[in-house]
Structure 1
Amino acid sequence: MTPTPLRLCFLTGTLNAVAGAERMTATMANALASQGYAVTILSLWDSASCFPLHPAVNHQALFAHRPSFKRAYATTVAGIRHHLRENKTAVLVEVDPMLSFFALPAALGLGVRHIAWEHCHFDEDLGKPARRLARRLAARFYEAVVVLTERDRRRWLQALRPRSRIACIPNPLPFSMPEQASSRTAKTVLAVGRLVAAKGFDVLLRAWAEVAPLAPDWRLTIVGEGDERVALEALRDELGLGACVTLPGICADVTAAYSQASVFCLSSRYEGFGLVLVEAMAFGLPIVATDCETGPRELLEPGRDAIVVPVGQPAPLARALAHMISHPGEAAILGEAARQKASGFLPEPIIQRWEALLDRCDAGNERWQRGDLKFPCDENK
């Protein structure tokens, strides 16, 4: 008899936004659907997706547009509960611990097992103090909390002494490992990310104002879209960088941007993981990055595959970029080391870790508590 596939739901805000959490939700849903899991994605709003979905993935949304969740709280909880019952969901993966405020009451009495998927780091609440309570709820009541770095896993254990398993599962490279690295012949420094304050592109522009006179034939390209576009374009023009800085928006194929760059820069004020670093490293791009929590500090080895500088300071960032540009031999060595490291983030082994966690949830609480099933990255030491 063919075993019944585990019925799994990813609960998220929306898939119609070009951002890391949304991209990873689609990536993991697709991968697990291809492995035979019965996968649904429930967005709170907007049934469109910026990312292609596997034909077997059922994507629904509670609202056409983002509502006021204070006014629509009861409707939201009822909608999630209806989805869980209709789809006979066994495991609910909440793509942000904040969703616990909806998911816990929605799943009450249904026997659904919860996993929280944390895409930021523990000490950043993104301006919402309620996030701290949400993390406590997840640590107390959930089967597991998935974090992206070992540093963050240790922080959860230190701060909350959780009853939940805290599993470190990094984000996978969302595309196949490129057969060839970038030729690095174009005189282009690339940055990729949402145009929001967290990404520090204002700091990068101020740094580039110092680099441009030293490397007048080089260009800076910032790929992405977001609320800060108008402010960043105004700052670019104020700094006189209109001829050497482009903000082309969202690229339909971001791999083309990596393949046509020679240096990658991450200027973030904070990161949960920094998937763009892994993507850039896969193309053999040498990295200049800020030393922010938690991803860059775990992903990068200063002097081996990157130059790392303090957060929020244009002058050190400018010096690092100028050094990378003016020392192509060193840049090539860093880029090769980065490409080797990127091979450790191929999808298959990371998907297997998700499968081990999901199957452990499916095995039932008794075996979970006895510890019969071994999952080395989530031991509460």
Structure 2
Amino acid sequence: MPRHHPTSGRNICFLTGTLNAMAGAERMTATVANALADLGHHVTILSLWDAASQFALHPRIRHEALFAQRPSFKRAYLATVAGIRRHCVEHRIEVLVQVDTMLELFVLPAALGLRLHHIAWEHCHFDEDLGKPARKLARRLAARFCRQVVVLTERDRRRWLEALRPRSAVVCLPNPLPFPMPAAPAPRTQKTVLAMGRLVAAKGFDVLLRAWQKVAEAAPEWQLVIHGEGEERPALTAMIGELRLEGRASLPGVCHDPLQAYGQASVFCLSSRYEGFGLVLIEAMAFGLPIVSTDCETGPRELLTPGQDALVVAADDADALAKALLTMIRQPEMAARLGAGGRQKAGNFTLERLALQWDALVRAPG
């Protein structure tokens, strides 16, 4: 990666809930912060709670937390605002990147009079509030008071512009591939379908297991591996028993070595009911895995080209998902062609390319 002279770097703070969670936004925070530190910026990460991180951080990055455990933010609102302001003053922060538009509710009062270059980084798609009505207000405030709002897809950028007519610049910067482009595609010799993500309802793994019951009947030598951890584990484990999929479908937990997991798969499946971006799709494409995905908002709809790198079906439809998986299994030439198409596309999402776009964003004059 090209390096700038360290003295030319800016003082940048990434403000996030926590880094001690195996989730997409947290992983991207570490990835982009590390890349900017590598380019000579002076980077801090301020977590609202828990100073531990699930992700390795660049040695020059300072990671601090306001609270040891997650507090009640209603009760700790003023302390949170004061803590963010103190951090910005102490570290002479010039650029504050909030890793969730909800954080605007703290940042706006915390940054009063500090003349910060203020960026909101949205990881959800615009029409999803994740059960928090305050998110709509936070987005309105971000659209008015931030210098830039960073969204992950062009589709989402258009929604922000239509719905809010923002004063802020709305910039589309997709999530980068968090590891270097693999030198070679996966060999795709094992009869394994891989799925990956948090074990939560949004990921639709219940639908995938129902689909897999049909696939397992027709192609009994194939295995389904679902990597991830979350609240749905007991329900999904019970489902594997009810559908008699023991030995055909497994839940081995969080994947600490994605290169091994992708390298041992032949097909990747995304069964989500909704997605903010779908980074796993880019990762799977980088390994040349053909993809079966639901047509959900917003990532898959933008990242995938049906028939060129993926087979795409309606969300929440186990029959359609099973049919597409069986098509992929039974037509190896088509699967190989889709995998090669995806690998070519993944080259657009390398960290080197996106780090330079972030670099230009944080250096942009006011």
- Normalising by structure 1, what TM-score? 0.94
- Of residues 150, 153, 174, the one that matches 1:149 is 153
1:90 aligns with 2:94: yes
Question: Alignment partner for residue 79 of structure 2, among 75, 79, 84?
Answer: 75
Structure 2 equivalent of residue 308 of structure 1:
312
Task: Name the amino acid aligned to 1:266.
Answer: L
Q: Quick check: 1:158 aligned with 2:141?
A: no
Q: Alignment partner of 2:247: what SS?
A: coil
- 2:248 equivalent in structure 1: 244
The 1-side partners of 2:245 and 2:215 are apart by 11
1:293 aligned residue (293, 297, 306): 297
Distance 2:6 2:143 in 1: 35
Q: Does the residue aligned with 1:212 lie in a helix, a strand or coil?
A: helix
Give the equivalent residue in structure 2 for 1:355: 359
Decide whether the 8 Å contact of 2:11 with 2:92 is kept in 1.
yes
Superposed counterparts of 1:47-86, under 5 Å:
47-86=51-90
Q: How does 1:198-277 map to 2 (within 5 A)?
A: 198-277=202-281
Aligned-pair distance for 1:237? 1.1
Of 18, 28, 31, 1:27 maps to 31
**Letter of the aligned partner of 1:66 in structure 2?**
R
Percent identity for Structure 1 against Structure 2:
67
Counterpart of 1:319 in 2: which secondary structure? helix
Q: After TM superposition, give the deviation of residue 3 of structure 1 in Å.
A: 4.4
Query: Contact 2:8 / 2:40 at 8 angstroms: preserved in 1?
Result: no
Counterpart of 1:305, as a letter, is: D
Measure, in 2, the Cα distance between the counterparts of 1:2 and 1:82: 25
Runs of 4+ displaced beyond 2 Å:
1-5
- 2:116 counterpart residue number: 112
Letter paired with 1:99: L
Structure 2 residue identity aligned to 1:109: G
Where 1:213 maps in the other structure, the secondary structure is helix
> Contact 2:117–2:147 (CA<8 Å) still a contact in 1?
yes
In the TM superposition, what whole-angstrom CA distance separates every residue of 1:86-106 from its partner, at most 9, and x where no partner exists? 101111100000000111111
1:183-202 aligned within 5 A: 183-202=187-206
| Alpha-carbon distance between aligned partners in 2 of 1:232 and 1:94, rounded to the nearest angstrom | 34
Q: Which runs of 5+ in 1 are unaligned?
A: 365-381
Output one character per residue of 1:264-303: Cα deviation in whole Å (capped at 9) or x when no partner: 0000011111000000000000000000111111110001
Q: State which of 305, 316, 324 in structure 2 corresponds to 1:320.
A: 324
Whole-angstrom CA distance in 1 between matches of 2:240 and 2:348:
37
* 1:21-53 Cα deviation digits (max 9, x unpaired): 000000000000011101000001111111000
Give 1:349 deviation, angstroms. 1.5
CA distance in 1, matches of 2:210, 2:125: 27
Would the aligned equivalents of 2:27 and 2:55 in 1 still touch at CA under 8 Å? yes
Report the TM-score, using the length of structure 2 for normalisation: 0.97
Task: Specify the SS of the correspondent of 2:218.
Answer: coil
For residues 187 and 290 of structure 1, what CA distance do their matches in structure 2 show? 21
Please report how far the alpha carbon of residue 4 of structure 1 lies from its aligned counterpart in structure 2 after TM superposition: 5.0
Q: What is the CA-CA distance between 1:5 and the residue it aligns to?
A: 2.5
Amino acid of the residue matched to residue 92 of structure 1? L
**Number of residue-to-residue matches in the alignment:** 362
Structure 1 counterpart of 2:176 = 172
Partner secondary structure for residue 61 of structure 1: strand
Which residue does 1:334 correspond to in 2?
338
When the two chains are superposed, the root-mean-square deviation of aligned CA atoms in Å is 1.1
